[in-house]
Amino acid sequence: MIIDKLFSHIAGKGHVCVGLDTDYEYLPPHFSKAFSHVSDALFSFNKQIIDATLDVSACYKVQIAYYEAFGMQGLEAYRKTLSYLRERKALIIADVKRGDIAKTAEMYAKAHFSRDFEADFMTLNPYMGVDTISPFLPFIKDHEKGVFVLIRTSNEGAKDIQYLPTEDNKRVYNIVGEKINALGKDYLGRCGFSSIGGVMGCTHADEARDVRRQLDSTFFLIPGYGAQGGKAEDIALYLKNGNGGVVNASRSILLAYKKVENGEERFSECARNESIRMREEIWGKI
């Protein structure tokens, strides 16, 4: 199961998931001006970040919207970034948040689990129903793939729907989590976690212990660390024996150079240093 590989990467490299949510505006001006095409600039920036962080990060999350915004040029950078990550044997989470049914969902699965846009995991939105996940299950079973399903997100608007009470005194996200955890039991790896994981924001630490206990075999993709208020001690609450979750950081890593004097010339080194700092901070709390 692909989840065993991620579990192993975390055990050896730490909990950091480098988010390649690469806005063209993040590129140092001197760097972007050296390229005549957006696709080349974005990919070259990503390549240097990958090379600098490969040994200190568990995986990479590539948010497709940042590439779609530049049309075909952006999607070419997305394709080349995924290809390079595969070449370097890195684990890839395609952050695409697909959520549809039947044949449409099957096409999404083919798009992001094979061919030009192939990734190891992809993010899914289950709020149309659990049948939106069914078309991805053959890829999980037969092709060493995995998914992270939105359960409870880190944004303020999560309270609009995910926190609505249900008749049995639970919240909507509790019900979603229980369904994902139950579905995942058929796809457990040797590590005890499922290749059907969940997105679980770390910005509500007061609920963390209950969530981790209830979703015992669900591996978490954890957003909300840093800029959104999540702390290393909060992350620790969502883990199980120090594993079972990977922590995404995007801007804090990609823009780390802005906090360093003359950092623009050393943006990849700054990204590496921030990844190490984040890794050590989390390790220090588990």
Catalytic positions: 97
The runs of H, that is alpha helices, within 94-145 are 102-113, 137-142
Using CA atoms, how far apart are residues 94 and 3, in angstroms rounded to an integer? Answer: 15
DSSP code string of 199-255: EE-SS-GGGHHHHHHHSTT--EEE--BSTTSB-HHHHHHT-BTTBSEEEEESHHHHT
Q: Which strand (E) or helix (H) includes residue 86?
A: helix 71-87
CB 46 within 8 A of CB 90: no
Of the candidates 22, 6, 8, the one whose C-alpha atom is nearest the C-alpha of residue 222 is: 6
Q: Give all strands (DSSP E) within 119-204, no chain letters.
A: 121-124, 146-152, 196-200
Amino acid at site 27: L
Helix (H, G, I), strand (E, B) or coil at 284: coil
